[in-house]
């Protein structure tokens, strides 16, 4: 029975991604973002469960990638698509009654597929990452509906701009497949010497969330990339 536990957790990740897409289609983007974040929660624990139970398998690896493609590739793509569709500066380019410009948001799922496939065959990514992990992109994107329509809306009106969203979509997508070495949050022990970078990052995350709440997530992802690059230098 224990060999099925990680795959069951992965299934919850997949279900969260499906629900996120469903709520995107119904214009409930904040709820879509919440389910995407729940998917990231389950994604974190399925790998932990597999390691703890000693039941890693090729089946689990492929299942995890397929679930991640839905939750962290398709789901953020649909959120950005609808944000673009509702933006004030949407280009008036149509095919019949369909606006064409928002479809550029689907660069996110396309390059997410490349990122996940690359991760599965890249032996360099056992203890670290090459390129931005798809859950990190989804947390960045998931914060956008809250920033644009929530308490932060007056301070970040520039986010409700089609061209800003387009640049973010392409920038984040290119980070997925870029040859950037990024540290992982996998702790092999709790010593400061072996995990100083991880402890610093987690400390900044906690402080940022306390101060900025939902607005912290884009900052955290940017800080993660910069800290990884500075640590390598």
CATH number of the domain where residue 128 is located: 1.20.120.1760
0.95 exceeded by pTM: no
Looking at every residue in the chain, the average pLDDT score rounds to 87
* pLDDT given at position 189: 63
Percent of the chain with pLDDT over 90: 52
Q: Which domain holds residue 23?
A: 2-180
Banded pLDDT at 183 (limits 50, 70, 90): confident
Residue 132 lies in a domain: yes
Residue 33 lies in a domain: yes
Residue 232 lies in a domain: no
Residue 193 lies in a domain: no
> What is the count of structural domains for the chain?
1
Quote the CA–CA distance of 56 and 41 in Å, as a whole number: 19
- Extract the tokens encoding 53: 């139970």
Residue 192 lies in a domain: no
* pLDDT given at position 68: 94
Calculate the CA 134 to chain-centre distance: 4
Residue 224 lies in a domain: no
Q: Is the pLDDT of residue 90 over 70?
A: yes
> Do the beta carbons of residue 231 and residue 199 sit within 8 Å?
no
Q: Any idea which of 24-38, 51-65, 165-179 has the lowest mean pLDDT? A: 51-65
């Amino acid at each position: 029975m224990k060999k099925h536990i990680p795959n069951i957790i992965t299934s919850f990740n997949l279900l969260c991604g499906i629900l996120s897409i469903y709520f995107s289609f119904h214009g409930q983007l904040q709820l879509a973002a919440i389910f995407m974040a729940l998917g990231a929660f389950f994604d974190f624990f399925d790998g932990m469960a597999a390691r703890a139970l000693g039941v890693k398998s090729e089946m689990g690896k492929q299942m995890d990638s397929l679930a991640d493609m839905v939750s962290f590739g398709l789901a953020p793509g649909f959120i950005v698509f609808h944000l673009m569709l509702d933006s004030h500066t949407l280009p008036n380019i149509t095919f019949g009654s369909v606006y064409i410009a928002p479809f550029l948001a689907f660069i996110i799922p396309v390059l997410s597929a490349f990122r996940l496939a690359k991760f599965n065959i890249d032996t360099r990514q056992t203890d670290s990452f090459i390129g931005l992990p798809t859950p990190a992109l989804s947390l960045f994107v998931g914060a956008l509906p809250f920033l644009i329509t929530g308490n932060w809306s007056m301070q970040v009106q520039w986010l409700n701009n089609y061209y800003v969203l387009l640049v973010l979509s392409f920038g984040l997508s290119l980070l997925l497949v870029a040859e950037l070495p990024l540290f992982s949050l996998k702790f092999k022990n709790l010593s400061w010497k072996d995990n100083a970078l991880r402890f610093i990052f987690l400390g900044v995350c906690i402080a940022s969330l306390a101060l900025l709440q939902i607005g912290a997530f884009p900052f955290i992802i940017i800080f993660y990339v910069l800290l990884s690059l500075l640590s390598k230098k």
